[in-house]
Chain A
Amino acid sequence: EADIYQTPRYLVIGTGKKITLECSQTMGHDKMYWYQQDPGMELHLIHYSYGVNSTEKGDLSSESTVSRIRTEHFPLTLESARPSHTSQYLCASSERGGRTDTQYFGPGTRLTVL
């Protein structure tokens, strides 16, 4: 079991609310990722970071933002949640510099916006 944690695991919230999904890892990995996954569907990369103070957008357009102030922490924020944001959000991390970049995933946050 990988040492990567996500909170909350489940969140139901009303439209227009600001929310932050937390992700932390204790493996000292430089690289971290956020994916969006609809139930039983493929993963879409929405943000990634290859170190402190570095963040990049992924291929899937997202209204969320991320920050990377500490190596172990990579929170994702939605300023104003909408029903279209309802999905599962998966956080992952991997070592930097490795040729293989095996990713370790957290358990996910299932977000429902009413």
Chain B
Amino acid sequence: AQSVAQPEDQVNVAEGNPLTVKCTYSVSGNPYLFWYVQYPNRGLQFLLKYITGDNLVKGSYGFEAEFNKSQTSFHLKKPSALVSDSALYFCAVRDARNFNKFYFGSGTKLNVKP
């Protein structure tokens, strides 16, 4: 079965510090991995994705994610956090057999304090 896990309900960082939001996955076959961000009272917005190629994927708003096959992880990172990055972040994986299905993690609330 395909699934993703986000072990942290909440991550707190100070503005200007680097941030990491963790995600691990379980898939059969090659993983297609995604990160989305959700601001209050809004839908999810696409940040970045990993399909194949370089393990370091760059996305929107200065975010990047590192794919690590041996650790089955796809952690989201940013070198310098902004207060405006405070939001709910979701990791997702596409079903390897049914390309119409996606499985989302439980979300991690990122709090960036001034």
Contact = CB atoms under 8 A, between A and B. Distances in A.
B107 A59 contact: no
Contact of B49 (A2, A40, A100): A100
Contacts of A42: 90, 104-107
Contacts of A99: 32, 51
Interface string B95-110: 0000111101111010
B104 A101 contact: no
A92 B46 CA distance: 11
A75 interface: no
Nearest to B52: A99
A42 B107 CA distance: 6
A43 interface: yes
Interface residues of B, number: 23
Interface stretch (A11-19, A62-70, A78-86, A105-113): A105-113
Interface stretch (B19-27, B37-45, B77-85): B37-45
Range, interface on chain A: 20 to 34
Residue of A31, A43, A50, A105 with most partner-chain B CB within 10 A: A43
B65 interface: no
A58 B43 contact: no
Contacts of B94: 101
Given A43-B90, A90-B43, 15 more contacts: A2-B43, A31-B100, A33-B100, A40-B109, A42-B90, A45-B101, A45-B102, A92-B44, A100-B32, A101-B102, A103-B102, A105-B43, A105-B44, A106-B43, A108-B43
15 contacts: A2-B43, A4-B43, A31-B100, A33-B102, A42-B104, A43-B44, A43-B90, A59-B101, A90-B44, A101-B102, A102-B34, A103-B34, A103-B44, A107-B43, A108-B42
